[in-house]
Amino acid sequence: MKRLLLFAMMCASISFVFAQRKFDKVSKVTSSEIRWWGYKVVKTEASSHSGTVKLKSGKFNFDKTVLVDGEFVIDMKSLMAGDVSDEDMIKLTNDLKSTNFFEVKKFPIAIFHLTKIIPLANSQYNSTVYGDVTIKGVRKTITFPANVYVTQFTVVVESAKFSLNRKDFKVFYQSSLKDYFIKDEMDIQFKVSTEKLDNDNRVPVKKK
């Protein structure tokens, strides 16, 4: 009985150690840029708006030298419209942060969990990125093209401009005709890196 108890305690101890040591290396994002675009249905000179949002934190996790995944927290309070005059910028930014759209008081962060990178050949972008994005508490799996470079524990991800359906995340005017004049698709493009790389030394991500 004592041997059985001792064995159980050893197993529990080993399991705890492995739970604590999940990854061999964590590489934190040190530079980031995220841009967004929204569009009106009616084509006019002012048929779109664009702006920025900031990354609150980001990291890439490694098992030995193999990139396993990435975790990124977006600060929705930093959401900003940037293509209009000062007065209109404040008005549009406040509208985007309100309950009409992203409800940043209730949902101050969005999360992107990068789960997989598949190398591409003969393409403008060298990889397809897979992951789960959570906005306003709604999680969806997405994919998009990107240029991904991994050298040791240094990572750069430069995405193409890709679309999300805002209604999938409950981003729309509540009971308002105004929503019919806004396209469902909103575009995102971003770049994140763990540190600055010399372009000549960049190495595309390798297949596991």
Confidence of residue 196 (pLDDT cuts 50, 70, 90): low
- CA pair distance 185, 200, nearest whole angstrom: 36
Q: Is residue 174 part of a domain?
A: yes
Most confident of 30-44, 54-68, 80-94, 166-180: 54-68
Mean pLDDT of 16-23: 43
Residues spanned by the domain of 153: 22-201
Q: How many domains does the chain have?
A: 1
- 3-class DSSP state of 179: helix
Mean pLDDT of 15-23: 42
pLDDT at 48: 81
pLDDT in tens, 142-154: 999 999 999 989 9
Lowest mean pLDDT segment, chosen from 72-76, 182-186, 197-201: 197-201
Q: Is the predicted pLDDT of residue 20 greater than 80, yes or no? A: no
Q: Is residue 169 part of a domain?
A: yes
Q: Is residue 92 part of a domain?
A: yes
Return the closest-CA partner of residue 161 out of 45, 72, 37. Answer: 37
pLDDT at 28: 95
Q: How do 109-119 and 127-135 pair as beta strands?
A: antiparallel
Helix (H) or strand (E) holding 73: strand 66-81
Buried b (16+ CB within 10 A) or exposed e, 66-94: ebbbbbbbbbbeebbbeebeeeebeebbe
Q: Is the predicted pLDDT of residue 169 greater than 80, yes or no? A: yes
DSSP annotation of 78 reads: E
Q: Is residue 153 part of a domain?
A: yes
- 3-class DSSP state of 90: helix
List the Cα angle 27/30/36 in 5-degree steps.
115
Look at phi and psi of residue 192 and say left if phi exceeds 0, alpha if psi is from -120 to 50, else beta: beta
Q: Is residue 48 part of a domain?
A: yes
Q: Is residue 35 part of a domain?
A: yes
- What is the C-alpha R_g of the chain? 21
Confidence of residue 55 (pLDDT cuts 50, 70, 90): very high
Sequence-ordered alpha helix ranges (H) in 56-158: 86-97
Mean pLDDT of 4-26: 46
Residue 37's domain is classified under what CATH number?
Answer: 2.40.128.110
pLDDT at 130: 98
- CA pair distance 185, 163, nearest whole angstrom: 6
Q: Is residue 13 part of a domain?
A: no
pLDDT at 54: 98
Return the closest-CA partner of residue 160 out of 28, 30, 37, 31. Answer: 37
Q: Is residue 207 part of a domain?
A: no
To the question of pTM greater than 0.85 for the whole model, the response is no
